[in-house]
Amino acid sequence: MNRSPSLPDSTAGERAGALYLGLDVSTQSLSGVVLRIEDRERRVVYRRSLIFDEEFPRYHTRNGVLPHDDPRIATSSPLLWSEALDRFFEIMAAESDLDLARLRAVSGAAQQHGSVYCNREATARLAALDPTRPLAHQIRAMLSRADAPTWMDSSTATECAAISDAIGGPEALIRLTGSRACERFTGPQIRKYARVEPDGYASTDRIHLVSSFLASVLVGAHAPIEPGDGAGMNLMDIVNRQWAETALRATAPGLRAKLPDLAPSWSVMGRLAPYWTERHGLPAANVIAWTGDNPSSLIGTGLVASDRIAISLGTSDTVFGLMRDARVDLSGASHVFGAPTGDYMALVCFKNGALARERVRDAYDMDWREFSRALRETPPGNRGAIMLPWFEPEITPPVASAGVRRYGLDPADAPANVRALIEAQMLGTARHAGWMGERVRGIHATGGGARNREILQIMADVHDADVYRLEVSDSAALGAALRAFHGDELARGTAIEWTDVVAGFADPVVDSVVRPDPGNVAIYARLRAVHAACEAHALGRGEDPMPLIGQFGGERTP
């Protein structure tokens, strides 16, 4: 998470224009972005992040997670998130110099999959939040479970198997909910809670996602779940965006009555409750449905059409993009969530991203300049040599035991290994996102790795698409602010296109476009088959790919 400066970007003279606030409650921090929109003039006028470990030491979180003896368990605290929300408003009101009377709407994003368990008193207590008393105390009295399991939890393997079996196997669950049963998803987490703490489950009246819980706190009433985030539960029918009866039954008894309703992403949840207006001097602004951080980032990176995808080269590499149709990845490696536009979004995650790039760089004792030089000085296609860079167990394709595989690649040839790594990563993104079925013409490249032009050239050549470097910080919070604007306009009866909503934000870095080289595109079209054959072989599903490599290398060598 980027640490935004604690001072506003620009606040002097911000007196006119409507303001829209977007919040992102992620694993480690809460970030907020305020947009000022007046006619055609629109810009970010305030940004602020609060790092949980630093700002709220009394919760003893490490990187936003509460300490546990069992490393598979990862929980956080709804009190911490609520307190952070309160602190953010307090700081914004004190330091921003914005005319907050012009705040028209608020929306938010939160880490996906996490769940918050409320007791029967929560409805009345939400409606009666007292602005003269600290928020955390009031929230504590609403919870039937003190901790909230988060997306980093991996303690529900038994539950995943049981849910999958009950639905008819992984493919059936993927077709129904958009994802196979995942340990971090909310359904398996709920099933585990109902099994391990049946009394706690019985005393739970409402189970929220982190996103719908925080929206509820803002409006002072239980807010619905929206389909972008709802899709991360293994409980929602991905096509018709309703709770899936069979999945509910496979998860826990009486679950439907404990879940909020589902509502479209642009719904108005209500208005800022008196707690917020009176405590922080805010107007009763509209609160638009909160979503998950990934669906929100889709908007924050400007991906509102299906012919563009984003590739984020971070700790892990992710590919995400909007899809018009509810296609699914039956391999189980990817997820389909709802998109805040009412469409769908795909998310494909590769664990061996920056981690693998750093391992290769270090193994050959290079710095990043030498790494780039190796890419410049080696031939596209690497004479058919392939590396499968599974330094850690991989998510896409699923690889349980780590181990780098090399085909036709001499481990002692440093430059060839650098090229083999990047080509494998880019071929991986292209091949494993192919199920989306969209013709990709443009790629928004983000993350630390996107600063390397040589990597972007290989990305452009492998995908046969223009690549634009994007430097959007806090894309989830920006997406939330843009959604606040969109939802508020709709609520006022103004029809507004998504392309108009994101225009001027999430623009590529000037002169950053990297275009595909037709000769290289042809090479990579052939190398795809070699990469696929090596992967199948490494996963124990295919023939020896060496003859294919010999053929490829032979054709390239004069």
d(CA 343, CA 165): 29
3-state secondary structure of 266: coil
With CB under 6 A as the contact rule, the residue among 294, 296, 446, 457 that binds ligand XUL is 294
Q: How far is the CB of 318 from ligand XUL (least distance, A)?
A: 8
For ligand XUL, the closer CB: 61 or 112? 112
Q: How far is the CB of 356 from ligand XUL (least distance, A)?
A: 19
| Token output for 23 | 């919040």
**Interface pattern 17-56 for ligand XUL (x via CB under 6 A):** ---------xx-----------------------------
For ligand XUL, the closer CB: 14 or 226? 226
**Beta-bridge partner residues of 24:** 31, 109
Residue 397: is the preceding peptide bond cis (ω within 30°)?
yes
Residues in the chain: 558
For ligand XUL, the closer CB: 184 or 258? 184
- Compute the CA torsion angle 173, 177, 178, 184 (nearest 10 deg): -90
Binding positions for ligand XUL, 444-463, rule CB under 6 A: none
Number of residues lying near ligand XUL (CB under 6 A): 12
For ligand XUL, the closer CB: 329 or 489? 329
Q: Which helix (H) or strand (E) holds 289?
A: none
Q: How far is the CB of 110 from ligand XUL (least distance, A)?
A: 8
Residue 176 one-letter amino acid: L
Q: Is 75 in the site for ligand XUL (CB under 6 A)?
A: no
DSSP 355-422: HHHHHHHHHTT--HHHHHHHHHTS-TTGGG-EEE--SS-BTTTTBSS---EEES--TT-HHHHHHHHH
| Token output for 361 | 């760089």
Binding positions for ligand XUL, 130-159, rule CB under 6 A: 151
Contact 338, 230 (CB under 8 A): yes
With CB under 6 A as the contact rule, the residue among 4, 77, 82, 112 that binds ligand XUL is 112
Binding positions for ligand XUL, 220-259, rule CB under 6 A: 232
Q: How far is the CB of 299 from ligand XUL (least distance, A)?
A: 15
- Name the segment binding ligand XUL (CB under 6 A); options: 52-60, 287-295, 405-413, 521-529: 287-295
Burial class (CB in 10 A: 0-12, 13-18, 19+), 431: middle
Q: Is 531 in the site for ligand XUL (CB under 6 A)?
A: no
- Name the segment binding ligand XUL (CB under 6 A); options: 14-22, 290-298, 466-474, 522-530: 290-298
Residue 190 one-letter amino acid: I
Cα atoms in the Cβ-side hemisphere of radius 13 Å centred on 520: 19
With CB under 6 A as the contact rule, the residue among 14, 83, 159, 293 that binds ligand XUL is 293
With CB under 6 A as the contact rule, the residue among 75, 77, 111, 186 that binds ligand XUL is 111
For ligand XUL, the closer CB: 207 or 346? 346
In 3D, which of 481, 538, 503 has the Cα closest to residue 31?
A: 481
Query: Rule CB under 6 A: which residues touch ligand XUL?
Result: 26-27, 111-113, 151, 184, 232, 292-294, 335
